[in-house]
Chain A
Amino acid sequence: MQIAHFTERPVRYLAEEPVLENRAFFGVSNKYYDREKAAHDYNFYLDEACFCEEVGFDAVAINEHHGNPFCSGSVVNIEAAILARITSEVKIVIIGNMLPGVKHPLRTAEELATIDTISRGRLVTGWVRGAGSEQFFNNANPAYNREMFNEAHSFIMDCWTKDGPWRYEGKHFHYRHVNPWVKPYQEMPQQWIPGVLSAETVMWCAEKQYPYLGLGTALGPTCDLWDMYADKSAELGYQAGPENFGYLLPIFCADTDEKAQEIGKGFIFGGGQNAFSRPEHTLPPGYNSKSAIRMLGQQPGGSWLGVSKDKLMAGADDSWDASAYDGLRAKLIAGYEKVQDNMQIVVGSPETCAQKIKDILSVIRPGVFTCFAVQGSVSDKDRLRSVELLGKEVLPVVRKHADEIGLFGPFDRTPGSVKLAPGSKRAPVVDREALAKLNLG
């Protein structure tokens, strides 16, 4: 198993009221930006990544978002390039480069190859379509999002494997002279694809034999998605296994359960992940496939980063009632308890965290496990203590459990390498009996 540490690098000096008033992180005015505090944070998060390496994580994972204090990383490849130089052993996992938003796959190919070269082959590169709100920030046409994603990915693969110079005239991208004089240090970096219950993305990963990383999705639907991946894999002649799956889970660890519970409330700061962006920014026109829209129309009900038809239909009654603040906080606290009951957030002492993580791993059997660090205004000291406790006390227990139940990571066993004879029955990839024992409903 490979165990990674991930952080959104939250803007920690921001008060909660502007987020609540805006009803989302995306769109909060950058008038609240503080140069000095930001300089501290950007440097701290790099130091935190080094500390992760020191205490035993296999990888540090980062991402980027735009126009959004939920995540201060806006140019992920710059931070990854620094990590390439200041760390020495950990994999540097980018989840991921937003291909349709960047709109320049040749440049992306060069940047990533540079990171892989400086780190001497420690890059794991992920690709994302970008959340709905990113399409607005980058003025990326959401109706062409999937097309641009596929084309940019295919082009980058060619950049890394074909000798130049060559010419490319595609639908969305055009280059007269492709001949990048930097190539990845590895023959081909591993590619891990994060997602939030998108069936299309899962199928694409299965076709490419790329590990799919579920981003904190509820365990039941995650099992369904894993099965979908494995069915497709079987069709394609290989047995999917733990090496094909990763899972990212919000985790905060402190010396006691009580302290962890208090500080872990950072996960619901401003509404947490569910307040990433408002419905109108979450689902821009044409961003979802026709089949996804059809499902949305027929089945109201939101998901982690999704949006329900009801929410999309809701009008913007923009009036903000300051007196609603306490009520809103109470709702968030109730939600905090609920997501812990659902095991979508794990908060506690090392013993508590280790047991819950083991239970989760037993159900979904991923080969990559990623600890998503706490959000909100948590101090340097408390963040680092969580990293230390996880690295020194929780990870050894988790690794032992992973070994006992055979959770191979993608660096232990190459995804797609276990062949399956056509027509033969595939092995299970999840443990639904273990899921049933958790009584998650």
Chain B
Amino acid sequence: MATWKEETQSLAGSDLVMIRGGSGKPLLVIHDELGYTGWMSWNEELAKDRELFIPLQPGFGKSPRQDWMWRHRDLANYYLNVIRELGLEKPDVIAFSAGAYTAAEMAAANPELLGSITLVGPMGIKPDKGEIFDIFACTIKTCLRQTVFNKEAKEYSEIYGGEMSAEQFEWFEDARAESARLGWEPYMFNPSLPDLLRSAKNTKLPTLLIRGAEDAVVPEDCIRKYQDALPQAESVSIEGAGHRPEIEDSAAFLAAVKKFLA
């Protein structure tokens, strides 16, 4: 089993709590709007030949909130500075949901700094058909139910089963609050992003788009819009999975990611 550790570093002007594990070429993992859910089997698998860097987003309970961050674009530029200060050489980035929105902003701001981006159930671009599910207008439990299609997935119950402790509740609320600060309006998209991605298009930044075929949070049209903005992107749809394909069908998810990163 790969070893992983949680460490706090002063990076890009603030303390940042980071999960690091595995060894090999750097892989930056950007978690979603609900926060880091722990070291899962897919982390373990990727850590066999990659060093995973998983920053815990500022304001999500562990890394201190940065008052100057108003938009995903601000967070993206913060992470780009983290990459610079860590001295990571063209890391691949894999990012989820609102985290994928952040990763897309990173690619738009400085595609040359990145090796590739894998966007899983990406928010960030307004779909023409359908709506990005409003995670702020539902209870925590409803939000989780909406997120996962395959509720029989082993890791779904491992993450969310049982009682929620007071500490977990607080982290969850921290995550929701910070996600609202960054993405309340416009709701989880940047109208400029498709145009800003021209830089990533021109540099042909390798891009993989992954979506669970039953995703009830991010409409399929978001993928089409990303595909329009980034014609070089490969796209994978995972049958029988919702918004969390990495835990709902880890095998299919890992197969797609490993093939792309190979």
Q: Do A and B bind each other?
A: yes
Annotate B127-146 by CB proximity to A: 1 below 8 A, 0 otherwise.
00000000011111110010
Distance of A276 from chain B, by nearest CB (Å): 16
**Segment 112-166 of B: residues with Cβ below 8 Å from A:** 136-142, 145, 164, 166
Bound-state CA distance A352–B251 (Å) is: 71
A143 with B139: CB separation less than 8 A: no
A141 with B173: CB separation less than 8 A: no
Total B residues in contact with A, Cβ cutoff 8 Å: 23
Interface flag for A293 (CB, 8 Å): yes
Stretch at the interface among A42-50, A279-287, A333-341: A279-287
A298 with B166: CB separation less than 8 A: yes
Distance of A384 from chain B, by nearest CB (Å): 39
Interface of B is mostly: helix
B181 with A141: CB separation less than 8 A: yes
Residues of A within 8 A of B142 (CB): 280, 315-316
Q: State whether A279 and B173 are in contact (beta carbons under 8 Å apart), knowing that A143-B184, A285-B179, A315-B145 are contacts in the complex.
A: no
Q: State whether A286 and B181 are in contact (beta carbons under 8 Å apart), knowing that A298-B166, A313-B164 are contacts in the complex.
A: yes
Q: State whether A293 and B170 are in contact (beta carbons under 8 Å apart), knowing that A281-B137, A315-B141 are contacts in the complex.
A: yes
Q: State whether A280 and B138 are in contact (beta carbons under 8 Å apart), knowing that A297-B166, A297-B170, A315-B145 are contacts in the complex.
A: yes
Annotate A3-20 by CB proximity to B: 1 below 8 A, 0 otherwise.
000000000000000000
Interface flag for B213 (CB, 8 Å): no
Bound-state CA distance A171–B141 (Å) is: 34
Q: State whether A313 and B141 are in contact (beta carbons under 8 Å apart), knowing that A139-B185, A284-B136, A293-B173 are contacts in the complex.
A: yes
Residues of A within 8 A of B169 (CB): 293, 296-297, 309, 313
Interface flag for A157 (CB, 8 Å): no
Q: Size range of the interface on A?
A: 20 to 34
Bound-state CA distance A113–B170 (Å) is: 42
Interface flag for B178 (CB, 8 Å): yes
Residues of A within 8 A of B170 (CB): 293-294, 297
Interface flag for A144 (CB, 8 Å): yes
Distance of B190 from chain A, by nearest CB (Å): 16
Interface flag for B177 (CB, 8 Å): yes
Closest 9 CB pairs of A and B: A286-B177, A285-B176, A297-B166, A315-B141, A297-B169, A285-B180, A141-B184, A143-B180, A143-B181
A286 with B176: CB separation less than 8 A: yes
Bound-state CA distance A285–B179 (Å) is: 8
Residues of A within 8 A of B177 (CB): 143, 285-286
* Residue of A141, A144, A288, A311 with most chain B CB atoms under a 10 A cut-off: A141
- The chain A residue sitting closest to B143, CB to CB, is A280
B180 with A284: CB separation less than 8 A: yes
Annotate A284-314 by CB proximity to B: 1 below 8 A, 0 otherwise.
1110101001101110000000000101111
Q: A285-B173, A293-B173 are in contact. List 4 more A-B contacts (CB 8 A).
A: A280-B142, A281-B137, A297-B170, A313-B141
B185 with A144: CB separation less than 8 A: no
A314 with B179: CB separation less than 8 A: no
Q: State whether A143 and B178 are in contact (beta carbons under 8 Å apart), knowing that A293-B173, A297-B166, A313-B164 are contacts in the complex.
A: yes
Residues of A within 8 A of B141 (CB): 313-316
Interface flag for A142 (CB, 8 Å): yes
Interface flag for A136 (CB, 8 Å): yes
Residues of A within 8 A of B181 (CB): 141, 143-144, 286
Bound-state CA distance A315–B181 (Å) is: 24
Distance of B49 from chain A, by nearest CB (Å): 38
Q: State whether A141 and B166 are in contact (beta carbons under 8 Å apart), knowing that A280-B137, A280-B138, A313-B139 are contacts in the complex.
A: no
Distance of A132 from chain B, by nearest CB (Å): 10
Annotate B47-88 by CB proximity to A: 1 below 8 A, 0 otherwise.
000000000000000000000000000000000000000000
Bound-state CA distance A293–B164 (Å) is: 14
Distance of A300 from chain B, by nearest CB (Å): 10
Bound-state CA distance A294–B142 (Å) is: 21
A286 with B180: CB separation less than 8 A: yes
A312 with B140: CB separation less than 8 A: yes
* Residue of A139, A144, A285, A290 with most chain B CB atoms under a 10 A cut-off: A285
Residues of B within 8 A of A297 (CB): 166-167, 169-170, 173
B179 with A279: CB separation less than 8 A: no
- The chain B residue sitting closest to A133, CB to CB, is B137
Annotate B1-16 by CB proximity to A: 1 below 8 A, 0 otherwise.
0000000000000000
Residues of B within 8 A of A284 (CB): 136-137, 180
Distance of B51 from chain A, by nearest CB (Å): 33
Bound-state CA distance A92–B54 (Å) is: 56
- 8 CB-based A-B contacts, threshold 8 Å: A136-B136, A139-B184, A141-B180, A141-B184, A143-B184, A279-B139, A285-B136, A285-B176
Distance of B69 from chain A, by nearest CB (Å): 11
Distance of B46 from chain A, by nearest CB (Å): 30
Bound-state CA distance A297–B164 (Å) is: 9
Bound-state CA distance A284–B184 (Å) is: 11
Bound-state CA distance A294–B140 (Å) is: 16
Bound-state CA distance A290–B167 (Å) is: 12
- The chain B residue sitting closest to A278, CB to CB, is B139
B185 with A316: CB separation less than 8 A: no
Distance of A14 from chain B, by nearest CB (Å): 23
- The chain A residue sitting closest to B146, CB to CB, is A316
Distance of A286 from chain B, by nearest CB (Å): 3
Distance of B99 from chain A, by nearest CB (Å): 17
